[in-house]
Amino acid sequence: MPTPEEYAFLDRVADFYAREYRFPPVAGRVLGYLLICSPPEQSIAELAEALLASRSAITGAVTHLAGYGAVVRTRSAGQRMDHVTLDPRVLDPTGFAATTYQQQAALAREALALLAEGPSPRRSMIEEGAAFYDFLAERMPALLDEWHDRRKNLP
């Protein structure tokens, strides 16, 4: 069972992911627990017991996190239960893909083409969004290169 300090950490992780990414709090707690638990692989039942949550809540959280590529479920031959662990690719820099931002900019421009001409708060917001996505598409490849250089020097 987690210590009081660990439960406090799990609540901070849950609050962060709920606030920033709209994750259900239990998904944030699962993610936080998988960061610190031993062993790093946990069954649904073990997660439910440690996090004081129902198995169905944990299963839903794991499904949610798996959809984001944050966790993986594995089952060894002959076993009847899955084990959940952090996906080792969780820190892969997929958010640096310029094409995603290029597509968002294109969608914003498509929306602008469908709006009536002339200034409006909505048009201004969409124009700014398109410019922002263009900026990100331009900058992300350089940031990814910088990250790769920095990652080479990690201990």
Residue 60 identity (one-letter amino acid): G
Higher pLDDT, 98 or 47: 47
Average pLDDT, the chain: 91
Residue 80 confidence class, pLDDT cut points 50, 70, 90: confident
DSSP H or E stretch at residue 85: strand 83-86
For the entire predicted model, the pTM comes to 0.76
DSSP, collapsed to helix, strand or coil, labels residue 40 as coil
Greatest C-alpha distance within the chain: 66
Asked whether the beta carbons of 17 and 31 are under 8 A apart, the reply is yes
pLDDT at 95: 74
Higher pLDDT, 90 or 135: 135
Residue 38: which residues within 8 A CB-CB, separation 6 or more?
Answer: none
pLDDT at 61: 97
Rounded to an integer, the average pLDDT of 38-62 is: 96
pLDDT(7) > 80: yes
DSSP H or E stretch at residue 43: strand 42-43
